[in-house]
Amino acid sequence: MTSPLSSVARSDLLARGYSRRSFGRIATLLAAGATVHALTKSAHAGILPSGINFEGMTRLGSNECWTGPFPEAAQAGASSVFQSNRYDPTGHMRDDLIKTASDVEGIPESHVMTWCGSSDPLARAIVTFCSPTRGLVTADPSYEAGWVAADWLKIPLARVPLSARGGYRTDVRAMLAADPNAGVYYICSPNNPTGTLTPLRDIAWLVEHKPKGSVVLVDEAYIHFSEAPSALELVAKNKDVVVLRTFSKMFAMAGMRLGLTFARPDLHEAMMRYDGKSATVMLPVPAMACGTMSLTMKSAIAARRQEMIAARNMTFQHLRKRGIHFIPSDANMFIIDWKKPAEPIKDAFLQQKVVIGRSWPIWPNASRVTVGSMDEMKTFCTALDRIIA
């Protein structure tokens, strides 16, 4: 296979320990094909469960928002459809998105990058800062896309178990001990699937103690469901931090594919040296229009957060009443420990027309459940009472 990577990119990869045989895999990964293919095949991916007719189902399996985009933002996106014969109808739609994100988050525009979702920059950061001699470290369980990328690239992977003793929070000191020379330390906060937060002070400690040349990759896909401080504070201080954001969760744009990263310009430049900047420039017009307006809707974001919290609290109260163990969450999902294999229980929920989430290999007796609307969570509780007598 002839690699489409530039000569500069190939030289960089060889210098960092990749082999020429890896060029095709890297090029494929950066095109997202390997990641999508591997996640779809994985028995534990569960992002889009196969063989299910979702019509009439209560869908609590994929951490999607229970409703659509904010109406005003959706209208902006819908209106832009009629101008989508142009790559950029105004000539500055992407610039507007970047400026809006910069203004809302208080981060320089030079530190903001746009993407079609956040999977590409996640995989790209691993290619860029990891190598056969500098691995990836994550919590376990956590979002698995990084594991897939590490396996695909044949780079070292260390997974640090979450524990009850630590409140199921990511243990940054254990991460550093697991691989003191890693290229990427990946922290999802709030974590997927537990919804638990990694305190900002812990992330800052890891940034200060990690090895030179590595980065701390902070996935904040669920940060808008929490009122916790963001790691963007570290980006503003020009630390070795890349923050991932997606419009798929709070902004309910999962099907529109839009994401952002926040990092120093030199880190972004390094991430894009393999295939130019096309992945960050060619974005769906409706997604840009919808996303730009969504970022400004502070009151609507707060109201949606409170709506989710109310439904989550009602569910937790029901679980406590039933004596069912769960992990308290700061996001729109949580983990239930059934104390027995989770797969039959998941199947039993399907029989009740309720789709719940997957398990992770480290916790085969636990299921992730997405927080839906109040009505959806009442349906979940009713189904649970039928299944768990």
3-class SS letters over 11-30: HHHHHCCCCHHHHHHHHHHH
Report whether pLDDT(45) > 50: no
> pLDDT category, 51, cuts 50, 70, 90?
low
**Given a cut of 60, is residue 36 above it in pLDDT?**
no
Decide if pLDDT at 4 tops 80.
no
**CB 119: neighbour CB atoms within 10 A?**
22
Per-residue confidence (pLDDT) for residue 270, from 0 to 100: 94
Beta bridge partners of 259: 115, 246
Total-model pTM: 0.93
Residue with tokens 């290229």: 183
In angstroms, rounded to a whole number, what is the distance separating the alpha carbons of residues 131 and 111? Answer: 25
Q: Range with the lowest mean pLDDT among 18-22, 81-85, 199-203?
A: 18-22
Q: What is the mean pLDDT of residues 62-69?
A: 96
Q: How far is CA 335 from each of CA 18, 164, 234, 367, 371, rounded to the nearest angstrom?
A: 38, 13, 29, 6, 11
Tokens of 68: 């659509």
Is the pLDDT reported for residue 237 higher than 80?
yes
More confident residue, 319 or 12: 319
Residue 49, pLDDT score: 52
